[in-house]
Protein backbone atom coordinates (compact mmCIF):
# COMPACT_ATOMS: atom_id res chain seq x y z
CA UNK A 1 0.00 0.00 0.00
CA UNK A 2 1.35 3.42 -0.86
CA UNK A 3 1.22 6.10 1.81
CA UNK A 4 -1.67 8.50 1.25
CA UNK A 5 -0.78 11.84 -0.26
CA UNK A 6 -1.38 14.85 1.96
CA UNK A 7 -2.92 17.55 -0.20
CA UNK A 8 -1.80 21.09 0.60
CA UNK A 9 -4.03 24.09 -0.02
CA UNK A 10 -2.17 27.25 0.92
CA UNK A 11 -3.77 30.35 2.37
CA UNK A 12 -4.08 33.43 0.16
CA UNK A 13 -4.22 35.70 3.18
CA UNK A 14 -1.37 34.96 5.58
CA UNK A 15 -1.90 36.66 8.90
CA UNK A 16 0.51 38.97 10.70
CA UNK A 17 2.78 37.27 13.21
CA UNK A 18 2.10 38.16 16.86
CA UNK A 19 4.83 39.85 18.88
CA UNK A 20 6.77 37.29 20.86
CA UNK A 21 6.19 38.97 24.26
CA UNK A 22 2.40 38.81 23.67
CA UNK A 23 2.28 35.13 22.73
CA UNK A 24 1.00 33.68 25.97
CA UNK A 25 -0.43 30.20 25.61
CA UNK A 26 -2.94 29.07 22.98
CA UNK A 27 -4.02 32.55 21.89
CA UNK A 28 -2.63 32.61 18.37
CA UNK A 29 -2.80 30.03 15.62
CA UNK A 30 -0.72 29.55 12.49
CA UNK A 31 -1.98 30.00 8.92
CA UNK A 32 -2.80 26.34 8.27
CA UNK A 33 -4.32 23.27 9.87
CA UNK A 34 -4.49 19.57 9.06
CA UNK A 35 -7.78 17.76 8.56
CA UNK A 36 -8.70 14.13 7.88
CA UNK A 37 -12.07 12.39 8.05
CA UNK A 38 -13.15 8.93 9.10
CA UNK A 39 -16.01 7.15 7.41
CA UNK A 40 -16.31 3.34 7.28
CA UNK A 41 -18.10 3.74 3.92
CA UNK A 42 -14.92 5.32 2.53
CA UNK A 43 -12.53 2.76 3.95
CA UNK A 44 -11.84 4.50 7.28
CA UNK A 45 -9.61 7.58 7.52
CA UNK A 46 -9.56 9.46 4.24
CA UNK A 47 -8.77 12.81 2.59
CA UNK A 48 -5.73 13.90 4.63
CA UNK A 49 -5.21 17.57 3.78
CA UNK A 50 -3.63 20.79 4.91
CA UNK A 51 -5.91 23.80 4.49
CA UNK A 52 -6.01 27.44 5.66
CA UNK A 53 -6.74 27.72 9.40
CA UNK A 54 -10.36 28.55 10.07
CA UNK A 55 -13.76 27.45 11.34
CA UNK A 56 -15.05 24.01 10.38
CA UNK A 57 -18.68 23.24 9.64
CA UNK A 58 -20.21 20.84 12.15
CA UNK A 59 -23.55 19.07 12.30
CA UNK A 60 -25.29 20.42 15.41
CA UNK A 61 -26.22 16.83 16.26
CA UNK A 62 -22.55 15.74 16.25
CA UNK A 63 -21.73 13.29 19.04
CA UNK A 64 -18.75 15.34 20.20
CA UNK A 65 -21.04 18.24 21.12
CA UNK A 66 -23.69 16.23 22.96
CA UNK A 67 -21.90 13.28 24.49
CA UNK A 68 -18.30 14.52 24.59
CA UNK A 69 -16.96 11.80 22.32
CA UNK A 70 -13.74 13.63 21.59
CA UNK A 71 -10.07 13.22 22.45
CA UNK A 72 -6.96 15.33 22.06
CA UNK A 73 -3.27 15.49 22.76
CA UNK A 74 -0.73 18.26 23.23
CA UNK A 75 2.94 18.35 22.27
CA UNK A 76 5.58 20.86 21.28
CA UNK A 77 8.05 21.67 18.51
CA UNK A 78 11.24 23.62 19.21
CA UNK A 79 13.97 25.26 17.14
CA UNK A 80 17.36 23.60 17.60
CA UNK A 81 20.72 25.37 17.60
CA UNK A 82 20.74 25.42 13.76
CA UNK A 83 17.22 26.78 13.55
CA UNK A 84 15.79 23.44 12.43
CA UNK A 85 12.47 22.41 13.92
CA UNK A 86 12.21 19.29 16.10
CA UNK A 87 9.25 17.75 17.89
CA UNK A 88 9.55 16.36 21.44
CA UNK A 89 8.43 12.72 21.76
CA UNK A 90 6.14 12.77 18.73
CA UNK A 91 5.62 9.00 18.58
CA UNK A 92 4.89 8.72 22.31
CA UNK A 93 2.22 11.42 22.02
CA UNK A 94 0.59 9.72 19.04
CA UNK A 95 0.64 6.37 20.83
CA UNK A 96 -1.15 8.09 23.72
CA UNK A 97 -3.70 9.60 21.31
CA UNK A 98 -4.51 6.05 20.26
CA UNK A 99 -4.78 4.98 23.92
CA UNK A 100 -7.23 7.82 24.55
CA UNK A 101 -9.09 6.73 21.40
CA UNK A 102 -9.59 3.22 22.81
CA UNK A 103 -11.06 4.60 26.02
CA UNK A 104 -13.65 6.68 24.14
CA UNK A 105 -14.46 4.17 21.37
CA UNK A 106 -12.83 6.45 18.77
CA UNK A 107 -11.20 4.64 15.82
CA UNK A 108 -7.41 4.20 15.89
CA UNK A 109 -5.27 6.43 13.70
CA UNK A 110 -2.28 5.44 11.58
CA UNK A 111 0.54 6.88 13.69
CA UNK A 112 2.92 7.07 10.72
CA UNK A 113 0.42 9.10 8.72
CA UNK A 114 -0.46 11.50 11.55
CA UNK A 115 3.24 11.90 12.35
CA UNK A 116 3.91 12.84 8.71
CA UNK A 117 0.89 15.15 8.75
CA UNK A 118 2.21 17.01 11.81
CA UNK A 119 5.71 17.29 10.35
CA UNK A 120 4.34 18.53 7.03
CA UNK A 121 2.09 21.08 8.76
CA UNK A 122 5.07 22.33 10.78
CA UNK A 123 7.10 22.64 7.58
CA UNK A 124 4.31 24.62 5.89
CA UNK A 125 4.03 26.99 8.89
CA UNK A 126 7.72 26.90 9.87
CA UNK A 127 7.95 30.70 9.66
CA UNK A 128 5.57 30.88 12.64
CA UNK A 129 8.22 29.47 14.98
CA UNK A 130 8.94 32.25 17.50
CA UNK A 131 12.59 32.99 18.08
CA UNK A 132 13.10 33.88 21.71
CA UNK A 133 14.46 31.44 24.28
CA UNK A 134 11.66 29.47 25.94
CA UNK A 135 9.19 29.82 23.06
CA UNK A 136 7.88 26.98 20.91
CA UNK A 137 5.02 25.83 18.73
CA UNK A 138 2.34 23.94 20.66
CA UNK A 139 0.75 21.19 18.55
CA UNK A 140 -2.83 20.26 19.31
CA UNK A 141 -4.30 17.18 17.58
CA UNK A 142 -7.98 16.59 18.26
CA UNK A 143 -10.47 13.98 17.06
CA UNK A 144 -14.22 14.59 17.37
CA UNK A 145 -17.26 12.47 16.65
CA UNK A 146 -18.85 14.22 13.67
CA UNK A 147 -21.85 12.07 12.92
CA UNK A 148 -25.16 13.90 13.31
CA UNK A 149 -27.12 11.41 15.38
CA UNK A 150 -28.65 11.79 18.81
CA UNK A 151 -28.75 8.14 19.81
CA UNK A 152 -26.17 7.22 22.43
CA UNK A 153 -23.52 4.99 20.89
CA UNK A 154 -20.06 5.58 19.38
CA UNK A 155 -20.37 7.71 16.25
CA UNK A 156 -19.75 6.27 12.80
CA UNK A 157 -17.86 9.29 11.46
CA UNK A 158 -15.02 11.43 12.91
CA UNK A 159 -12.75 14.31 12.05
CA UNK A 160 -9.11 14.55 13.05
CA UNK A 161 -7.74 18.09 13.12
CA UNK A 162 -4.28 19.39 14.02
CA UNK A 163 -3.77 23.05 14.84
CA UNK A 164 -0.55 24.83 15.78
CA UNK A 165 -0.13 27.64 18.29
CA UNK A 166 3.07 29.64 18.73
CA UNK A 167 3.50 29.94 22.49
CA UNK A 168 5.59 32.06 24.80
CA UNK A 169 7.83 31.10 27.64
CA UNK A 170 6.04 30.06 30.80
CA UNK A 171 8.89 31.50 32.81
CA UNK A 172 9.00 34.95 31.25
CA UNK A 173 7.87 36.40 34.56
CA UNK A 174 10.30 34.26 36.54
CA UNK A 175 9.67 30.77 37.85
CA UNK A 176 7.55 31.95 40.75
CA UNK A 177 6.19 28.92 42.64
CA UNK A 178 2.39 28.82 42.59
CA UNK A 179 -0.18 28.51 45.36
CA UNK A 180 -2.34 25.40 45.02
CA UNK A 181 -5.64 24.55 46.68
CA UNK A 182 -6.08 20.97 47.89
CA UNK A 183 -9.61 20.09 46.78
CA UNK A 184 -11.23 17.75 49.30
CA UNK A 185 -14.76 17.56 47.87
CA UNK A 186 -14.92 17.96 44.11
CA UNK A 187 -13.08 15.33 42.07
CA UNK A 188 -11.64 15.08 38.58
CA UNK A 189 -11.76 11.36 37.82
CA UNK A 190 -12.88 8.20 39.57
CA UNK A 191 -11.58 4.65 39.38
CA UNK A 192 -13.19 3.06 36.33
CA UNK A 193 -13.68 6.44 34.66
CA UNK A 194 -11.86 8.46 32.02
CA UNK A 195 -8.99 9.86 34.09
CA UNK A 196 -6.28 8.27 31.98
CA UNK A 197 -7.70 9.55 28.68
CA UNK A 198 -6.90 13.00 27.33
CA UNK A 199 -10.47 14.04 26.74
CA UNK A 200 -12.55 17.17 27.14
CA UNK A 201 -14.84 15.50 29.67
CA UNK A 202 -12.07 15.44 32.30
CA UNK A 203 -11.44 19.11 31.72
CA UNK A 204 -15.14 19.96 31.97
CA UNK A 205 -15.18 18.10 35.29
CA UNK A 206 -12.27 20.22 36.53
CA UNK A 207 -13.52 23.72 35.75
CA UNK A 208 -15.69 24.42 38.78
CA UNK A 209 -13.08 23.41 41.33
CA UNK A 210 -10.45 25.47 39.48
CA UNK A 211 -12.72 28.54 39.49
CA UNK A 212 -13.43 28.14 43.19
CA UNK A 213 -9.71 27.78 43.90
CA UNK A 214 -9.00 30.96 41.91
CA UNK A 215 -11.67 32.83 43.88
CA UNK A 216 -9.77 31.80 47.03
CA UNK A 217 -6.54 33.18 45.58
CA UNK A 218 -5.00 29.92 44.41
CA UNK A 219 -3.64 29.25 40.92
CA UNK A 220 -4.85 25.67 40.58
CA UNK A 221 -6.24 22.62 42.29
CA UNK A 222 -4.48 19.62 43.77
CA UNK A 223 -6.79 16.68 43.06
CA UNK A 224 -7.36 13.91 45.57
CA UNK A 225 -8.78 10.48 44.79
CA UNK A 226 -12.54 10.36 44.29
CA UNK A 227 -13.24 7.65 46.85
CA UNK A 228 -11.41 8.47 50.08
CA UNK A 229 -10.36 12.06 49.31
CA UNK A 230 -7.01 11.14 50.81
CA UNK A 231 -4.55 10.27 48.08
CA UNK A 232 -2.83 12.91 45.95
CA UNK A 233 -3.47 12.52 42.23
CA UNK A 234 -2.69 15.47 39.95
CA UNK A 235 -2.02 19.17 40.19
CA UNK A 236 -4.25 21.16 37.84
CA UNK A 237 -3.68 19.60 34.43
CA UNK A 238 -0.23 18.36 35.37
CA UNK A 239 1.21 15.23 36.93
CA UNK A 240 2.44 15.62 40.50
CA UNK A 241 5.93 15.07 41.95
CA UNK A 242 7.10 15.53 45.54
CA UNK A 243 10.46 15.26 47.23
CA UNK A 244 10.22 14.01 50.79
CA UNK A 245 13.62 13.53 52.42
CA UNK A 246 15.77 12.06 49.66
CA UNK A 247 12.90 10.28 47.92
CA UNK A 248 11.18 11.68 44.84
CA UNK A 249 7.61 10.42 44.65
CA UNK A 250 4.93 10.51 41.98
CA UNK A 251 1.52 8.84 42.28
CA UNK A 252 1.23 5.53 40.35
CA UNK A 253 -0.77 5.06 37.15
CA UNK A 254 -2.28 1.77 38.32
CA UNK A 255 -5.79 3.07 39.10
CA UNK A 256 -6.08 4.73 35.68
CA UNK A 257 -7.34 7.92 37.31
CA UNK A 258 -4.23 9.88 36.25
CA UNK A 259 -3.20 10.99 32.83
CA UNK A 260 0.00 9.12 31.87
CA UNK A 261 2.07 12.22 31.11
CA UNK A 262 4.91 12.08 28.63
CA UNK A 263 6.73 14.68 30.72
CA UNK A 264 6.15 12.46 33.78
CA UNK A 265 7.68 9.48 31.95
CA UNK A 266 10.62 11.60 30.78
CA UNK A 267 11.23 12.95 34.29
CA UNK A 268 11.17 9.43 35.76
CA UNK A 269 13.68 8.27 33.15
CA UNK A 270 16.05 11.19 33.84
CA UNK A 271 15.81 10.83 37.63
CA UNK A 272 16.61 7.12 37.42
CA UNK A 273 19.59 7.86 35.18
CA UNK A 274 20.81 10.41 37.72
CA UNK A 275 20.60 7.80 40.47
CA UNK A 276 17.90 9.69 42.39
CA UNK A 277 15.71 7.51 44.61
CA UNK A 278 12.32 7.59 42.83
CA UNK A 279 9.06 5.87 43.73
CA UNK A 280 5.79 5.59 41.90
CA UNK A 281 3.60 5.13 44.95
CA UNK A 282 0.55 6.50 46.69
CA UNK A 283 1.04 9.58 48.86
CA UNK A 284 -1.65 10.83 51.21
CA UNK A 285 -2.41 14.37 52.32
CA UNK A 286 -1.64 13.17 55.86
CA UNK A 287 1.81 11.99 54.83
CA UNK A 288 2.75 15.35 53.36
CA UNK A 289 1.37 17.25 56.36
CA UNK A 290 3.58 15.11 58.60
CA UNK A 291 6.57 15.42 56.28
CA UNK A 292 6.14 19.18 56.21
CA UNK A 293 5.91 19.37 60.03
CA UNK A 294 9.13 17.33 60.21
CA UNK A 295 10.88 19.65 57.73
CA UNK A 296 11.13 16.85 55.17
CA UNK A 297 8.83 18.13 52.41
CA UNK A 298 11.48 19.75 50.22
CA UNK A 299 9.81 20.08 46.82
CA UNK A 300 6.42 19.83 45.14
CA UNK A 301 6.07 20.35 41.40
CA UNK A 302 3.83 19.60 38.46
CA UNK A 303 4.99 18.21 35.11
CA UNK A 304 3.34 18.69 31.73
CA UNK A 305 4.01 19.76 28.16
CA UNK A 306 2.80 23.34 28.59
CA UNK A 307 5.01 24.47 31.49
CA UNK A 308 7.34 21.40 31.63
CA UNK A 309 8.10 21.80 35.36
CA UNK A 310 5.93 24.01 37.53
CA UNK A 311 7.01 24.42 41.16
CA UNK A 312 4.44 24.66 43.92
CA UNK A 313 5.18 27.09 46.75
CA UNK A 314 2.19 26.57 48.99
CA UNK A 315 -0.63 24.07 49.44
CA UNK A 316 -3.79 25.42 51.03
CA UNK A 317 -6.61 23.28 52.40
CA UNK A 318 -9.71 23.72 54.52
CA UNK A 319 -7.81 23.37 57.82
CA UNK A 320 -4.55 25.20 57.11
CA UNK A 321 -1.67 25.39 54.69
CA UNK A 322 1.68 23.87 53.91
CA UNK A 323 4.57 26.02 52.74
CA UNK A 324 7.25 24.51 50.60
CA UNK A 325 10.71 26.01 50.82
CA UNK A 326 11.95 28.37 48.13
CA UNK A 327 13.15 26.86 44.86
CA UNK A 328 16.90 26.50 45.01
CA UNK A 329 19.03 26.37 41.87
CA UNK A 330 20.17 22.86 42.83
CA UNK A 331 16.63 21.62 43.45
CA UNK A 332 15.46 18.57 41.53
CA UNK A 333 12.79 20.68 39.81
CA UNK A 334 15.30 23.24 38.52
CA UNK A 335 17.75 20.54 37.40
CA UNK A 336 14.96 18.76 35.52
CA UNK A 337 13.76 21.94 33.89
CA UNK A 338 17.28 22.73 32.70
CA UNK A 339 17.94 19.19 31.46
CA UNK A 340 14.66 18.95 29.55
CA UNK A 341 14.93 22.38 27.98
CA UNK A 342 18.53 21.59 26.93
CA UNK A 343 17.11 18.57 25.08
CA UNK A 344 14.23 20.62 23.61
CA UNK A 345 16.49 23.28 22.14
CA UNK A 346 19.26 20.90 21.11
CA UNK A 347 21.86 22.31 23.51
CA UNK A 348 22.82 18.75 24.46
CA UNK A 349 22.91 15.56 22.47
CA UNK A 350 19.55 13.79 22.23
CA UNK A 351 20.73 10.54 23.86
CA UNK A 352 17.19 9.20 24.29
CA UNK A 353 16.05 9.73 20.71
CA UNK A 354 13.26 11.98 21.97
CA UNK A 355 13.46 14.62 19.22
CA UNK A 356 12.01 14.13 15.71
CA UNK A 357 13.36 16.46 13.06
CA UNK A 358 10.94 18.24 10.73
CA UNK A 359 12.18 17.96 7.15
CA UNK A 360 11.85 21.00 4.93
CA UNK A 361 8.95 20.66 2.48
CA UNK A 362 11.21 19.99 -0.51
CA UNK A 363 12.95 17.03 1.11
CA UNK A 364 9.68 15.72 2.60
CA UNK A 365 7.97 15.64 -0.81
C1 LIG B 1 -1.85 16.39 29.36
C2 LIG B 1 -2.03 16.17 30.82
C3 LIG B 1 -0.93 15.96 31.68
C4 LIG B 1 0.51 16.08 31.24
O5 LIG B 1 0.86 15.23 30.20
P6 LIG B 1 2.12 15.55 29.30
O7 LIG B 1 2.16 14.45 28.33
O8 LIG B 1 3.29 15.57 30.19
O9 LIG B 1 1.85 16.88 28.67
C10 LIG B 1 -1.19 15.69 33.01
N11 LIG B 1 -2.44 15.63 33.48
C12 LIG B 1 -3.51 15.85 32.70
C13 LIG B 1 -4.87 15.78 33.28
C14 LIG B 1 -3.34 16.12 31.34
O15 LIG B 1 -4.41 16.33 30.58
Q: Measured from the CB, is residue 263 less than 6 Å from ligand 1?
A: yes
Distance 32 CA to ligand 1 centre (A): 25
Q: Measured from the CB, is residue 250 less than 6 Å from ligand 1?
A: no
Distance 115 CA to ligand 1 centre (A): 19
Confidence band for 361, pLDDT divided at 50, 70 and 90: confident
Mean pLDDT value of segment 138-165: 98
Q: Measured from the CB, is residue 304 less than 6 Å from ligand 1?
A: yes
User: What's the mean pLDDT when you consider all of the chain?
Assistant: 95
Pocket test for ligand 1, best of 87, 305, 340 (most atoms within 8 A of CB): 305
| Closest ligand 1 atom, residue 264 Cα | 8
Confidence band for 365, pLDDT divided at 50, 70 and 90: very low
CA–CA gap between residue 350 and residue 144 (Å, rounded): 34
Distance 330 CA to ligand 1 centre (A): 25
| Closest ligand 1 atom, residue 239 Cα | 10
Helix (H, G, I), strand (E, B) or coil at 181: strand
Q: Measured from the CB, is residue 333 less than 6 Å from ligand 1?
A: no
CA–CA gap between residue 26 and residue 237 (Å, rounded): 15
Could you tell me the maximum CA-CA distance found in the chain, to the nearest angstrom?
Answer: 64
- pLDDT, position 132: 85
CB 221 within 8 A of CB 181: yes
Q: Measured from the CB, is residue 225 less than 6 Å from ligand 1?
A: no
Residue nearest to atom 5 of ligand 1 (CA): 261
Distance 198 CA to ligand 1 centre (A): 8
Would you say the C-alpha torsion 106, 258, 306, 278 has a positive or negative sign? negative
Domains of the chain: 7-168 (3.30.470.10), 178-327 (3.20.10.10)
CA–CA gap between residue 147 and residue 315 (Å, rounded): 44
- pLDDT, position 3: 85
Q: How far is CA 42 from CA 8, 47, 157, 286, 295, in A?
A: 21, 10, 10, 56, 63
246-262 pLDDT, tens digit per residue, is 999 999 999 999 999 99
286-336 pLDDT, tens digit per residue, is 999 999 999 999 999 999 999 999 999 999 999 999 999 766 778 999 999
Q: Which residues contact 294 (CB under 8 A, 6 or more apart)?
A: none
Distance 74 CA to ligand 1 centre (A): 8
CB 56 within 8 A of CB 137: no
Q: Measured from the CB, is residue 32 less than 6 Å from ligand 1?
A: no
DSSP letters, 286-319, are HHHHHHHHTT-EEEEEEEETTTEEEEEEEEEETT
Pocket test for ligand 1, best of 141, 261, 263 (most atoms within 8 A of CB): 261
Q: How many CA atoms lie within 13 A of 232 on its CB side?
A: 31
Poorest-pLDDT segment among 8-12, 166-170, 238-242, 268-272: 166-170
64-121 pLDDT, tens digit per residue, is 999 999 999 999 999 999 999 999 999 999 999 999 999 999 999 999 999 999 999 9
CB 194 within 8 A of CB 206: no
Amino acid sequence: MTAPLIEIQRTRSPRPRPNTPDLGFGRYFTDHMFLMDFDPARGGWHSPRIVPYGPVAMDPAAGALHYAQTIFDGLKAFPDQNGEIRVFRLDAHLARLNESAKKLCVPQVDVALVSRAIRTLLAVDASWMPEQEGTSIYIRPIIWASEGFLGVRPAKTYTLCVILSPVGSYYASGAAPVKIWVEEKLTRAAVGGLGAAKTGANYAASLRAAEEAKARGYAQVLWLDAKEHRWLEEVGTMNLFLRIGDEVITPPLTDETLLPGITRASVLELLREWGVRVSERKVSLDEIKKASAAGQLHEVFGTGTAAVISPVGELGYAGGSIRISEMKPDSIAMRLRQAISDIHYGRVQDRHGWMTRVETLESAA
